[in-house]
Structure 1
Amino acid sequence: MATQKLLHYFTDHEVAVVTSYPLGDIVHNRDVAGWISKWALKLMGHNIRYIPHTAIKPQALMDFVTKWTEVQLPTLDVTHKYWTMYFDGSIMAPGSGARMVLVSPDGSRLRYAIRLHFLASNNAVEYEALINGLRITIELGATRLYIRGDSELVVDQVKKESSCKSPLMAAYCLDVRKLEDKF
């Protein structure tokens, strides 16, 4: 019954099929071999094509964001005394990564990437990016800093709008408090 409805839909509409189900499992199943033949005959005259499901790997996404960050950075109405830091973290299969973009008062952009060789949650990676960015900024001699990040939890905890429920997050937040005294 469902097969007939599906075939009826395909014969009345022009459709592009998107699937991530392995076609090999369908083709080698004896129960559905007849169905495939019938579908092939019914669908032959229609404009239907197979489009494989693709995924963006986290590292590729981080590379893209870092490459195009300077084009998409919002302009801040600040005096020339302030540095600006953008931080972000990403979890990958073999490890984690953190990236920072520092913008000096004269507009120079400095990009940093750190690979973490330990298992960490997304929030821990975001904190690692923030803390390492603060350390780098201190080494560069900055005393005034705007910080921009996309992790709502980390930003809220640092701004004291949210409490740290996890001991690990509390430890990370304490590290940030120690470093923020330098600014």
Structure 2
Amino acid sequence: MTPNELNYSPIEKLCLSLIFQFEIIYVPQKAVKGQALADFLADHPIPAYWELSNEFPDEDVLVIEVKPPWKMYFDGASNKEGAGAGVIFVTSDGEVLPYSFTLTQNFSNNVAEYQALILGLEMAVDIKQLHLQVYGDSALVINQLLGSYEVRKPELLPYHNYARKLMGWLGDVEIEHVPRKENKQADALANLASTISMPNNEARVPICKNWVVPPVFEEESDEEKEDDNYTVEVFEIEKED
């Protein structure tokens, strides 16, 4: 296309493409002006099955649905019984994906925090979730990754470097420190894994909602209080596994 043709509106460019495709007689490009387009359309009526609509403007419109990023919460726990890591993903659709890991060795809390972060980042790399918001309650780990704190302990340096590498592979990662109360689900998963450490075995722990005793009882009448024979009533409570 000539420089002038590049300045045509989208509808004029469309008409110009029709001319190039269907015009049998060669028309010099310099002669292809707005009037030539109008003349061509007058001599070549649009077929009946083509319907023009006023709903679309004379502009190129490209609509791309941009979903919100996934969120990842991580936490690590270490005690005398073992070490564990908890990771929770919240998808762009609001679906919650919890994961709990028992770590094979007993580490310090800071190492367990790094392990939890790395496990989550590795999963994000595997599922190619490149836009990720990461939240953790370890001020040390978060600030070291943000560059606010220096990594002084040599045992933390390999974990720090690997976490930075994973974040570089993902590309678009935001990391932020949150209070422990906003990270309690990942904290619970990490503590659960550290408490029920089962080497070389995968444990599935079902979580059930249940209420053993009915929460509300009707007050006994005076006659029932005077009667030595009491009646025990059993209430069946609906419950879900």
Number of the residue aligned with 1:128: 115
C-alpha displacement at 1:114, in angstroms? 0.6
Letter in 1 for 2:124: T
Alignment of 1:72-151 (within 5 A): 80-151=67-138
Pairwise CA RMSD of aligned residues? 1.1
Number of the residue aligned with 2:152: 165
Number of the residue aligned with 2:189: none
Deviations 1:22-57 (A, max 9, x none): xxxxxxxxxxxxxxxxxxxxxxxxxxxxxxxxxxxx
Deviations 1:57-101 (A, max 9, x none): xxxxxxxxxxxxxxxxxxxxxx62411100011113221000010
Number of the residue aligned with 1:75: none
Q: Gapped runs of 5+ residues in structure 2? A: 1-65, 171-241
Letter in 2 for 1:121: S
C-alpha displacement at 1:150, in angstroms? 0.3
C-alpha displacement at 1:119, in angstroms? 1.8
Q: Distance in 2 between matches of 1:80 and 1:100?
A: 22
1:177 matched to 2:203? The reply is no
Number of the residue aligned with 2:139: 152
C-alpha displacement at 1:141, in angstroms? 1.8
Letter in 2 for 1:137: A
Equivalent pairs counted in the alignment come to 105
Secondary structure of 1:107 counterpart? coil
Q: Distance in 1 between matches of 2:166 and 2:77?
A: 22
Structure 1 runs, 4 residues or longer, greater than 2 Å off: none
Identity of paired residues, percent? 35
Letter in 2 for 1:175: Y
Q: Distance in 1 between matches of 2:128 and 2:81?
A: 34
C-alpha displacement at 1:129, in angstroms? 0.3
Number of the residue aligned with 2:11: none
Q: Gapped runs of 5+ residues in structure 1? A: 1-78
- Scaled by the length of structure 1, the TM-score of the pair is 0.55
C-alpha displacement at 1:169, in angstroms? 1.2
C-alpha displacement at 1:109, in angstroms? 1.0
